[in-house]
Amino acid sequence: MKEQILLIGGGGHCKSVIDVIEQEGRFTIAGIIDKKEFIGQKVLGYDIVGCDDDLGALRKQYHHAFITLGQIKTSQIRIGIFEKLIQLGYNLPVIISPLAYISKHAHVGEGSIVMHHALVNANAKVGKNCIINTKALIEHDAIIEDNCHISTGAIVNGNVHVKASTFYGSNATCKESILVSGFIKAGSVAK
């Protein structure tokens, strides 16, 4: 029998994560945590079962949780939720789409997701609480620190170091062996 998992955040990113979790097949989605006024509504057929205030009580019933709130302008909300979940004793698994490729020589940290058709190549390191979004490429020896969002179709070339809490926009790219941090606009080139 599959273990159950709670999803934290019921917006657009949640829908994409639900699809990855269903494809991966390791967990049954127990429900979604969102704002109090949304309790009782559904996201792709899954019930919104509580709000942040319920996480302590729900911990008695559920061991696994995953943050399904996206990150564009700031990582602060995701960081706060991550810290709260750890403090409450939840396990935050790594979620990897079966359509992604992760080198056996790469590392992906706790609470991170690698979405459909993303690639994480040899000796790359992805930190905790990261989103490696659909069709992103993390090349060899790249370091993605904690709480980063590498967006759809983005390219992080070899030996690049992406600092914590960076948003790296859709189809952005960079030259190899540089330091990247902050907010990288969609389609931009970091040199």
Q: Which residues contact 73 (CB under 8 A, 6 or more apart)?
A: 167, 183
The predicted structure's pLDDT at residue 184: 95
The predicted structure's pLDDT at residue 122: 98
Architecture of the CATH domain 95-186: 3 Solenoid (2.160)
The predicted structure's pLDDT at residue 163: 98
146 to each of 23, 41, 110, how far by Cα in Å? 25, 32, 9
The predicted structure's pLDDT at residue 8: 98
The predicted structure's pLDDT at residue 190: 83
Query: Do the first three CATH levels of 3-87 and 95-186 match, i.e. the same topology?
Result: no
pLDDT in tens, the chain (191 residues): 899 999 999 999 999 999 999 999 999 999 999 999 999 999 999 999 999 999 999 999 999 999 999 987 889 999 999 999 999 999 999 999 999 999 999 999 999 999 999 999 999 999 999 999 999 999 999 999 999 999 999 999 999 999 999 999 999 999 999 999 999 999 999 88
Q: Where are the domains of the chain?
A: 3-87, 95-186
What one-letter code names the amino acid at 63?
Answer: H
- Does pTM surpass 0.85? yes
Half-sphere exposure of 11 toward its Cβ, with a 13 Å CA cutoff? 8
For the chain, what is the largest distance between any 2 Cα atoms, rounded to a whole number of angstroms?
49
Per CATH, the number for 3-87 is 3.40.50.20
Cα–Cα distance for residue pair 91/98, rounded to 1 Å: 21
Cα–Cα distance for residue pair 189/42, rounded to 1 Å: 39
